[in-house]
Amino acid sequence: MKEIPLSSPDITDLERKTVLEVLTTRHLSLGPKVLEFEEKLAYYTGVRHAVAVNSGTSGLHLCVKALNIGEGDEVITTPFSFVASANCLLYERAVPVFVDIDPLTLNLDVRQIETKITKRTKAILPVHVFGQPCDMDEILRLAEKYSLRVIEDSCEAIGATYKGRKVGTLGDCGVFAFYPNKQMTTGEGGIIVTSDAQVATLCRSLRNQGRGEGKGWLAHERLGYNYRLSDILCALGLAQLERINELLAKREKVASLYSRLLKSLPSVRPPFVSSDVTMSWFVYVVVLEERFTREQRDRILIGLREWGIGCSNYFPPIHLQPFYANAFGYKRGDFPITESVSDRTIALPFYGELGEEEVRYVVERLREELEKT
């Protein structure tokens, strides 16, 4: 069996043709493809505005800034995520306040949110981890009760729905990301979605060095950033968006095959999917039984890699990352469910073009490695 990567983008002649067409024009940045990509993504998600940016991280940062979240403000979020969902708060000197996760969905446990709300709490930043939507009804109820803003980190969840509504559209604003391992890609890039015209206007200015819309090239109304996304990458995004239903369906098929085959491995728990959501499959992460230690999990990862199988631990807890532990004094035991789950996760190879033979190979090698522990 050839080496099986952890992830791989799904690129066809349509994407290559669309990108090459941009290269025949003089509009490589700030051109018509940016606007077209924004309009079509807004239509796809059902919001009024979309603002393309150069990464999901940049998008989250601009949402924080556009909602006037600043120094000393507290934002409730999850410690089980990619580090950007907390870093975006620190950029504005806001304080991430972590809530432990639900052991099944792996999203923040909404039952614990209210206990963390103080007079300094300004917002809730839920992360739809691995494409699994959070319990947004309870989050929005608490946001209304305490006059909080809601920023949805939907970077891993393009196309996912919560009770029939697309994630990213339920709060004040949401962000999708398009790194090559995502459901659709622009290579590097992200996009902010919102129906708040003021937020959209601010984000467009902030991503473009603080320039005002319709103002001169050297007229800067506010402190801004170079968070622009080029026409070349937007063209790639347009081709991928045209294929989005196909891309999501292919990943769903691979996930279903994994889940079926893994039933024969009782010490492995496949991803849980809530009944009132549509999962958008970003990665395929299994959780080992509680009897497994982190060291045993790590030996399994090493064994799988020796078979040529790309795999990883997803995610290390944010609060135990060296920077956060040093800056805030976090330690093991602060968020026990996050830590326990993180110690036992294995991300298996996952992408739309993964074939049945390869999935069976991964599952069989996983079986062998489990038998060694």
Question: Any catalytic annotation for residue 182?
Answer: yes
**Contact residues for 212 (Cβ-Cβ < 8 A; gap 6+):** 205, 219, 221
One-letter identity of residue 320: L
Identify how many contiguous H helices and E strands the chain contains and give both numbers.
12, 13
> Does residue 60 contact residue 153 with C-beta atoms inside 8 Å?
yes
Could you give the maximum distance between any two Cα atoms of the chain, in Å? 66
Structure tokens at 324: 């956060």
Q: What SS3 state is found at 159?
A: coil
Which strands form 161-162's sheet, in the order they lie side by side? Answer: 165-166, 161-162, 277-278
φ, ψ for residue 335 (rounded to 5)? -135, 80
**Could you say which of 33, 166, 182, 250 is catalytic?**
182
Nearest one of 87, 36, 44, 117 to 318, comparing CA atoms: 87
The DSSP string of 168-186 is TSSSSEEEEE--TTSSS--
Q: How far apart are CA 254 and CA 257, in angstroms?
A: 5
Q: How far apart are CA 145 and CA 140, in angstroms?
A: 8
Q: How far apart are CA 148 and CA 32, in angstroms?
A: 36
Burial 158-186 (b: 16+ CB within 10 A, else e): bbbbbeeebbbbbbbbbbbbbbebbbbbb
Catalytic residues: 182
